[in-house]
Structure 1
Amino acid sequence: MIDLKPAGQLFVLACAAIISYLWLRYKHIRSVPAGTVHNAPREAAASETSPRHTSANRPPLEILYHGPTNAAEEPVKVDIVAVHGLGSNVDWSWTWQDKSGRRPPVHWLKDLDMLPAVVPNTRVTVYSYESRWHANAPKTRLELCGEALVRSLHHFRSQTLDRPIIFVAHSLGGLVVLHGLLYTDRTEEFNYLPRNTVGFAALGTPFRGSTMQSLAEKVAWLMTLAGSHDGIIRELEQDNKHITDKVHAFSQLRNKMDLPICCFIELYNSDYGKRFGIPGLVRGMVVDEESAHIPGWDRVGLNADHFKLNKFSGPSDGSFIAVSNEIRKMFVGRGSVLKRRKSDTEKSHFMVPFGCNKNFVGRESILQQLLEKISPSTDQDDCQRTALEGLGGIGKTQIALEAAYQVRDKHPDCSVFWVPAVDATSFENAYRDIGCQLGVKGIEDDKADVKMLVKVALSHESAGSWLMIVDNADDLKLFADATLSDHLPFSRNGSILFTTRNHEAAVRLSQNNITTVAKMENDEATDLLRAGLKENQIHNAEGTARLLEFLTNLPLAIKQASAYMARTDMSASKYLQHCQSSDKTMVKLLSQDFEDRDRYKNINNPVATTWLISFNHITRDYPLAARYLRFICYLAEKDVPISLLPPGENKLEADEAIGILKGYAFVIERNELDSFDIHRLVRLAMRNWLQTNGEWQEWAMDAIQHLTDKYPFPKHENRDIWMRYLPHGQTVLQLQENSANKETGLLFNVAESYFMLGKYNEAEQMYRQTLEVRERVLGREHPSTLGSMNNLADVLGNQGKYEEAEQMHRQELELCERVLGREHPDTLKVR
Structure 2
Amino acid sequence: MEITSRPRLLWTAALSLLVARLILQIFMPSRLDSDYAQKSGFELVPVDCFNSSLRATGVDIILVHGLGSNPDTTWQKLAKNVSRNHTDPASQGKQFVNWVSDFLCEDFPPEVRRHARVFFYNYDSYWKNDAIEERRSRLGHELFEEVTSMAVKTPERSIIFVGHSYGGLVIKEALLKAQHLHSRRLVDILPQTKAIIFLGTPHVGSASISLSVKAAQFFHAFGLAPLPSIVEAITHDSVELQDLHRQFEAISGHVRIVNFHEERETLGFWGLWSDFAVKKQSVTLDRPNAETIGLYTDHSGLNKFGERDSNYEMIRNKLIELVKAIIANARIGASVYSVPQKTDKLYTERRNLSDRLEEKLNKPLNGSDQVAHAVAISGLGGAGKTQLALRYVERHKLHYDPILWIDARSQEAIRSSFQRCAQGLNLLTETYSTVPNMAALRDDPAVRVVLSWLQNRNHLQDEWLVILDSADDLNNGIRDVIPSGVRGSIILTSRDIECDKVLPPGSQRLQVGTMEPSDAISFLLRHLNLNATEVPEDIHNLAQSICENLR
TM-score, normalised with respect to structure 2 = 0.49
Which of the pair is proportionally richer in strand? Answer: 2
- Greater Rg over alpha carbons, structure: 1
Which protein has greater RCO, CA pairs closer than 8 Å, 6+ apart? Answer: 2
Which of the pair is proportionally richer in helix? Answer: 1
